[in-house]
Amino acid sequence: MKALVTGAAGFIGSYIVDELLKRGYEVVGLDNFSTGILRYLQEAQKNKKFRLVEGDILDLKILKNTIEDVDIVYHMAANADIRGGTLNTKCDLEQNTIGTYNVLEAMRLSESAKRICFASSAAALGEPDIFPTPENLPNPMQTSLYGASKMAGEGLISAYCNAFDIEGYCFRFVSLLGPRYPHGHVFDFVKKLIKDTLTLDILGDGTAQKSYLHINDCISALMLVCEDLRPAIDKEHSFEIYNLGMEEFIEVSRSAELIATELGLKPLFKFGEGKRGWIGDNPFVFLDVNKIKNLGWMPSYTIEESIKETANWLAHNKWIFNTRS
């Protein structure tokens, strides 16, 4: 079996590369290294079954070449910075929507690549008023360019699955944590505390409630659905969406306390105003995960365990802060 992983040098993509190689796959990794980190692929590059291609999903020609003889596409390449999308409004459209269209076009033209696993996001659900939020939430109102681009990606995949005999799986992730974690509020808090051990500025009033998932639990869910069970294969419209998160949530202020304790610090917390940390920040994320649990998936980490492990990894891998502005 052969897989293409877009965004292979990213947080999620690099874990997928490692897992597929463990399973004996031949893996082609594609990344433009705008945010990808080559260091994440050090072990993969020692494996003769791994080939790394530096290229962009906006380049359809490169996609057509890299998708040759591939059985499944793990499409993880994206702009994952919600805040950045407000500064460069083309970024989400190009990287997340047009890029996904290009991946699907390359699959349509391919003789072999007829299965796709897509990294969507809880942000695609906007700011719902139903909690826990189900996959079939009607007409979610979009509150970020990032969320809108992910919803558009889901729509394109669904349409291609229906029209061109493609098998598709979309996963709406909450924020993911764990080693290699490259951005988000845990990253920001650790970075700030390394520079200033006495005070910690928190965007917003700290009452926003977040759900986090450990990267290992994310990967186990993807493998269960896309490799082991493939529940969409016998459906007339071979497309499935899964929420992927925890049946718990945590306030930002509590996560700040956990991070400070993990670093052995007792800083003064300085809070901002309002629940949102930035434009498009959802003050409450809590997904209904019964659909994937009914397939036999269960998370193995609590949110607090994930936060503490991530903070510890960041503190011992300070080089990563130099890869982000």
Residue 36 region by backbone torsions, left for phi larger than 0, else alpha for psi between -120 and 50, else beta? beta
Whether the CB-CB separation of 234 and 297 falls below 8 Å is answered with no
Do 154 and 269 lie in one domain? The reply is: no
Do 263 and 233 lie in one domain? The reply is: no
| DSSP helix/strand/coil, 283 | coil
Do 161 and 238 lie in one domain? The reply is: yes
Six token digits for residue 112: 């072999």
Do 228 and 253 lie in one domain? The reply is: no
Do 308 and 223 lie in one domain? The reply is: no
**Each residue of 24-36: pLDDT tens digit?**
999 999 999 999 9
Whether residue 293 lies inside any domain: the answer is no
pTM recorded for the entire structure: 0.96
Neighbours of 294 (CB within 10 A): 8
Position 193 scores a pLDDT of 98
Position 274 scores a pLDDT of 84
Do 221 and 280 lie in one domain? The reply is: no
Residue with tokens 């994206």: 78
Do 142 and 161 lie in one domain? The reply is: yes
Position 280 scores a pLDDT of 77
Whether residue 290 lies inside any domain: the answer is no
pLDDT tens for the 325 residues of the chain, in order: 999 999 999 999 999 999 999 999 999 999 999 999 999 999 999 999 999 999 999 999 999 999 999 999 999 999 988 887 888 999 999 999 999 999 999 999 999 999 999 999 999 999 999 999 999 999 899 999 999 999 999 999 999 999 999 999 999 999 999 999 999 999 999 999 999 999 999 989 999 999 999 999 999 999 999 999 998 887 878 999 999 999 999 999 999 999 999 999 999 999 998 887 777 788 899 999 999 999 999 999 999 999 999 999 999 999 999 987 6
Six token digits for residue 262: 């993990």
Our count of domains for the chain comes to: 2
| DSSP helix/strand/coil, 105 | helix
Do 54 and 147 lie in one domain? The reply is: yes
Do 171 and 193 lie in one domain? The reply is: no
What's the CATH number where 308 sits? 3.90.25.10
Whether the CB-CB separation of 39 and 65 falls below 8 Å is answered with no
**What is the domain range of residue 204?**
177-211+247-285+300-323
- CA distance linking residue 315 with residue 321, whole number of Å: 10
Whether residue 237 lies inside any domain: the answer is yes
Question: Which candidate, 71, 53, 70, places its Cα nearest to that of 62?
Answer: 53
Position 125 scores a pLDDT of 96
